[in-house]
Amino acid sequence: MRLAGKVCFVTGAGSGMGRAAALAFSREGAAVGAMDLKAEAVAETVAQVKKAGGKAVALSGDVSKEADVRRAIEDAVKAYGALHVLYNNAGIFPGDDHSVIDTDEAVWDKVFAVNVKGVAFSCKHGIPHLIRSGGGSVINIASFVALVGCSVPQDAYTASKGAVIALTKSLAVQFGPKGVRANAICPGPIETPLLTQWLLKEPKEKAKRLNRIPMGRFGKPEDIVNLGLYLACDESSWTNGAALVADGGITANYF
């Protein structure tokens, strides 16, 4: 098993790619501290992990609140005695986030609080444990939209994911010498509730986006989680400071 003996902290573990990561990490032998804003959703993730024979503890809280993140990480360490992986996946993509010229200040605050401060708080309280455990891996979920412009903008979201990539590189340089690697994953559009309940509901909008994907399909949570597994385990011991893209070729596509 690729993660035997490891303890992984996964945020946004109640849905989509966070739930898939919790299940995949536990299948590979990790104990998982699964955190989400929605207590019932994360309890369901933990139930699924346990049903499959894995180990996980449900931690509810809001990643944009430092005290919640600190408590969740302490509870995960109390439950399993150590911490080796931070999978900073919780993120929001609100429908009222548009172009910079028509997006309200409150939207910027909300998006940055969750998508940027949430990652920073997890790193602040998690990295010292990773160092104490003899090293580890920080995996921050960014997005392909931080790498290319989009004519249908979500500017607060895009800027927040750019900040995640920049923060990741700073962490890689600071903590690499202490045995902690930090990498970002930039997913293309993935069929999770975040996308299917909104953008992909509209057949015209769905077709427009599908047209741009050389692989001819949207991503599945496993497409991203497999990259997460690689980054979480020792196979990636020399991968540090990277922003790895998994997007079916979108960012390589001119026409």
* Shortest distance (Å) from residue 226 CB to ligand NAD: 14
* Shortest distance (Å) from residue 73 CB to ligand NAD: 13
80 catalytic? Reply is no
* Shortest distance (Å) from residue 241 CB to ligand NAD: 19
* Shortest distance (Å) from residue 14 CB to ligand NAD: 4
Name the residue nearer to ligand NAD (CB basis): 83 or 141.
Answer: 141
d(CA 239, CA 177): 13
d(CA 14, CA 114): 15
Name the residue nearer to ligand NAD (CB basis): 80 or 218.
Answer: 218
Name the residue nearer to ligand NAD (CB basis): 1 or 67.
Answer: 67
d(CA 247, CA 13): 21
**Catalytic residue chosen out of the listed positions 80, 157, 230, 254:** 157
Residues that bind ligand NAD (CB under 6 A): 11-12, 14-18, 36-38, 41, 62-64, 89-93, 114, 118, 141, 143, 187, 189-190, 192-195
Backbone angles phi, psi at 55, to 5 degrees: -120, 125
Structural contact between residues 206 and 197, judged by C-beta atoms closer than 8 angstroms: no
CB contact set of 177 (below 8 Å; sequence gap of 6+)? none
Name the residue nearer to ligand NAD (CB basis): 133 or 195.
Answer: 195
Task: Kindly list the catalytic residues.
Answer: 157
